[in-house]
Chain A
Amino acid sequence: MILLHINGKTHIVDVSPDIPLLWVLREHLGLLGAKYGCGIAQCGACTVHIDGKARRSCRTPVGDALGKEITTIEGIPDDHPVKMAWIDDDVPQCGYCQPGQIMAATALLKEKPEPTDEDIDIAMAGNLCRCGTYQRIRRSIHRASKMMAEGVKS
């Protein structure tokens, strides 16, 4: 039995501790926002926050998340500046990588509320988008940063 704190709730799952967190979220807990893209921490589609930091859940054994605060895309409020900016800029195309992109962006803005383009390059380089929405992602991160500075709650 493993006790997990996800999006402010506690879950108990009966799985082996070496199973990647991604599959526990998706198959045991029905949290389907985090996506499978590569399984080797190369694409970022599975990005979640563990204790506030962006982590690739496809390479995180669920046992390592024990007792930590896990946040998934479902745990980011709809009125979060990043989600609002993403909607303003109509960022997604196919949309598959976007939960991971949003999780990476929210983690970046938490750490650097006013990121430069270079900060964005570094923080977002781990998140692939085959549709090539990068330009709108960059614009949206700057937009969210501005919204946060102007006091939109995060």
Chain B
Amino acid sequence: MNMIINISRREFIKTGSLIGGGLILGVIPGFNGASGQSSQNFAPNAFIRVGTDDIVTVIVNKSEMGQGVYTSLPMVVADEMEADWSKIRIEPAPVDPAYNHTIWGIQGTGGSTSTWTTWDQLRRAGATARVMLVKAAAGIWGVSPIACRAENGFVFHDETKRQFSYGSLVEKAAQLSPPQDVPLKEPKDYKLIGKPVKRLDTPSKVKGSAVFGIDVKVPGMLTAVVARTPVFGGRVKSISDEKARAMQGVKFIERIPSGIAVIADNFWSAVSGRNALDIKWDEGPLAGFSSMKQRKQYAALSKKTGAVARKDGDPGAALAKAVKKLKAEYEVPYLAHATMEPMNAVVDLREDGCDIWTGTQFQSADRNSAAEILGLKPEQVNLHTTFLGGGFGRRANPYSDFVSEAAHVAKAVRKPVKVMWTREDDTRGGYFRPMWYDRIEAGLDGNGNPTAWRHRIVGQSIIKGTPFEKALIEDGIDETSVEGAKNIPYDIPNVLVELHSPEYPIPVLWWRSVGHSHTAFVVESFMDELAHAAGRDPLEFRRELLNKDPRRRALLELVAQKAGWRDPLPEGRGRGIAIHKSFGSYVAQVAEVSVNKKDGLRVHKVVCAVDCGKIVNPSIIEAQMESGVVFGLSAALFGEITFKKGRVEQGNFNDYKLVRMNHMPLIEVHIMPSEEKHGGIGEPGVPPVAPAVANAVFALTGNRVRRLPIRV
């Protein structure tokens, strides 16, 4: 999501004093150095704390959900700071305006923005610490700071061969005022940035000691599950809970806005209690709702004129004149995020305040929602960000659904409580990637060049009704619905892109790569259709329409070369190509597939080329590309949430299937060297996979895939 909200670029807090309590201290129990050391730290800004033990703690304001921010962001700080990488520790940031997203103005992680929106901020933070430590050492030695240098956690005065470790400068440095302007390193002097530095969170994740929300336990804590309406928009009509109340371990049964909470000594008792509830539901307006019906409604809507997202030239006239015309309808279903760790939150409510532990991408929204529900001031609520067992957008919920619900449960029972979602709760509980229906047509001239392109998109807005509406919906167009379709890169003179945003009470949300997750499939598949209709090679066809976009052309050439696009394929194999730009990065992929009766569709290899501008950690980029390919492949091959009688038909991994080891293609990742501005890396690997695979299926079988998941 390209969010531009409340642009109030906040500079990090400039305090040069020893910190005692307040902003940084005492808010994250259980993390080293977070308490009881108020006179032992040098904290030049909100992101860095140096201890007398030489440990440099980097406070990270982005949530670690696998994308590597607990490593890549500290790398930026440490490099500018000339810190010793082996002495770096990380700590999740508490909720404070100092940690707000530099563009969004709220604290959160998403939209593949973490690197480029913190790059300047964190480099300055690191450089400020370095300059102050050098000045402190120079002061002690009585020499000019210019005669000193910082390296690997020490300040040196070479002339007299003297040195101080950073830790030994803490007290002196803490007395200095932070400078306004600090010199930043030249890229040639980077020691960490650009290198495949190992992740700081790997050891704890390998040991099994990394703490996720589900692992948090506080004294006296109870565990709750919630019986939610089986049909969105439904309400409890009546409930009989005598059986559940009598069950061992069940402590409370409470009605909360989202349903009936069963609160027990432990998870098993809570689930058993919930199973014993007899609830009659008023199923509301979606009773009887089905995906079949919805498809028909969308198809009908796609025949009507929608809100105009882009209009160039006169596509109607150009189509009328076209020598060859193509028309198609494309469809993709609702999708669940299916994070491996289902939603959960721990709320410890006391008279004077509250602590919340959860894996969230939206700290300030969640904290504020909980405070409102609990009748507390926001600053009375300490929200602690744990590791996230996957996020993919699900844990960035404008409604703070899983945190708000846990706050309601805590308010009802006035005891520390962990609210857990079962896998079925998680799969059926919504905030899905919307279902989309696209009607698209194009015309080619006598030379096979496209002269007209008309694309109409039908699907729910994920933004309408959220606080982001003002920033992201303009003239009835939700930017996230049309991103990747509105801005097709190809040189086509007449273009019309329209949008219908029908309203259904089915909760929808961004899902890794947001709008691009459907627009790339439609645009890149239809481009393939046009190439074949023009009798041209799909790669060459694209290249010729990208004369004004050398960056994209170069990436296409790279992926083609690495994939051996022009080389013959083994018998029974097909190859498909797709390229898509999202979140500031370009990704091109070539998929190689086979289709046969025994194995169905198999994806053997995906060659992926990425141009994300300047890079911080190539190993993490490689991992995120692999991750994006697998995520996109799960959607292309299996992903589908459908409704029948108002109910979600899927519930667990047996019917909401994901790619497994035995489906896994070989993935090759090639990073285009670049000095351009940083792009995002968490999401851009996802969009090209589905069209690359679908185009490969066509190349092999002649069957055009226009609906996901792919059925062969």
Contact = CB atoms under 8 A, between A and B. Distances in A.
Given A124-B661, A127-B661, A132 B390 contact: no
B619 interface: yes
Given A36-B214, A121-B662, A134-B664, A93 B267 contact: no
Nearest to B197: A90
A90 B207 contact: no
A138 B341 CA distance: 22
A74 B215 CA distance: 14
B629 A43 contact: no
B199 interface: yes
Nearest to B391: A94
A60 interface: no
B630 A97 contact: no
Given A45-B340, A94-B389, A135-B667, A125 B623 contact: no
Given A35-B389, A138-B661, A73 B66 contact: no
B206 A96 contact: no
Contacts of B214: 35-36
A27 B652 CA distance: 23
B688 to A, nearest CB: 15
A19 interface: yes
Nearest to B423: A38
Interface in B8-54: none
B206 A102 contact: yes
A128 B267 contact: no
Contact of A135 (B206, B390, B391, B664): B664
Nearest to A88: B198
A35 B267 contact: no
A99 B214 CA distance: 14
B203 to A, nearest CB: 6
Interface string B375-393: 0000000000001111110
B372 to A, nearest CB: 29
Interface in B634-685: 652-654, 658-662, 664, 666-667
A145 interface: no
Main secondary structure, interface of A, reads loop
A35 B339 CA distance: 13
A34 B214 CA distance: 11
B422 interface: yes
Interface in B357-403: 387-392
A86 B202 contact: yes
B73 interface: no
Nearest to B266: A27
A35 B340 contact: yes
Interface in B606-637: 619, 623, 626-631
Contact of B267 (A23, A34, A38, A40): A23
B210 interface: yes
A130 B208 contact: no
Interface string B217-243: 100000100000000000000000000
A92 B205 contact: yes
A65 interface: no
Nearest to A20: B268
Contacts of A96: 212, 339-341, 387, 389-390
A94 B340 contact: yes
Contacts of B199: 90, 92
Interface string A69-113: 000111000100001001100111111111100100000000000
B201 interface: yes
A99 to B, nearest CB: 4
Given A92-B202, A96-B341, A19 B387 contact: no
A127 B629 CA distance: 18
A52 interface: no
A86 B626 contact: no
A5 interface: no
Given A27-B266, A38-B423, A96-B341, A74 B208 contact: yes
B201 A95 contact: yes
B623 A90 contact: yes
A59 interface: no
A90 B340 CA distance: 19
A80 B339 CA distance: 28
5 contacts: A27-B223, A40-B653, A94-B65, A95-B210, A132-B629
Given A27-B268, A93-B67, A132-B629, 15 more contacts: A27-B267, A32-B215, A43-B340, A90-B202, A92-B199, A92-B201, A93-B66, A94-B65, A95-B387, A98-B205, A125-B661, A131-B390, A132-B626, A136-B626, A138-B661
Q: Which 3 A-B pairs have the closest CB atoms?
A: A132-B630, A33-B208, A96-B389
